[in-house]
Structure 1
Amino acid sequence: MAISTRYSDAIHIMAFIYIYQNTKLSSENIAKSVMTSPVVVRRIMSALQKAALIKTTHGSPNPVLAKDAANITLLDIYLAVENDKPLFTVDHKTNPQCIVGSQIQGILTQHYHEVQSAALGRLERITLQDIIDEIITNYKSGKDD
Structure 2
Amino acid sequence: MRYSHKLSDAVHILAYVAIYHDDDLSSAAIAASIESNPALVRRLMGALRRAELLTTQQGSATPQLARPADRISLLDVYHAVEADTPLLHVDDKTNPACIVGGNIQATLRGAYAEVQDAAERQMAAITLASLIVDIRQREQQRNHA
TM-score (norm 2): 0.96
Matched with 2:81 is 81
1:32 aligns with 2:37: no
The 3-state SS of whatever aligns with 1:101 is coil
The aligned amino acid for 1:106 is A
Offset of residue 94 of structure 1 = 1.1
**Partners in 2 of 1:56 and 1:65 — Cα distance?**
9
Tell me which moved more, 88-97 or 30-39. Answer: 88-97
Whether the 8 Å contact between 1:69 and 1:129 is mirrored in structure 2 is yes
CA drift of 1:142 comes to 1.1
Contact 1:74 1:126 in 2 (8 A): yes
Q: How does 1:99-118 map to 2 (within 5 A)?
A: 99-118=99-118
- Which residue does the alignment assign to 1:65? 65
Report the CA distance between 1:92 and its aligned residue: 1.4
- CA–CA separation in structure 1 for the residues paired with 2:74 and 2:14: 11
Question: Are residues 1:2 and 2:2 paired?
Answer: yes
Paired AA for residue 124 in structure 2: E
Q: In the alignment, residue 114 of structure 1 is paired with which amino acid?
A: E
Separation in structure 1 between the aligned mates of residue 39 and residue 134 of structure 2, nearest angstrom: 28
In structure 2, what is the equivalent of residue 50 of structure 1? 50
- Calculate percent identity across the aligned residue pairs: 47
- 1:89 CA drift (Å): 1.2
- Distance in 2 (CA, whole Å) between partners of 1:140 and 1:96 is 56
SS in 2 for 1:124: helix
- After TM superposition, the runs of 4+ consecutive aligned structure 1 residues lying more than 2 A away are none
The aligned counterpart of 2:90 is 90
Q: Partners of 1:104 and 1:137 in 2: how far apart?
A: 44
CA RMSD of aligned residues (A): 0.9
Please give the alpha-carbon distance, in whole angstroms, between the structure 1 residues aligned to 2:141 and 2:90: 43
Secondary structure of 2:61's counterpart equals strand
The alpha-carbon deviation at position 122 of structure 1 amounts to 0.2
**Contact 1:78–1:84 (CA under 8 A) maintained in structure 2:** no
Structure 1 length-normalised TM: 0.96
Pair 1:18 & 2:14 matched: no
What is the aligned residue count? 143
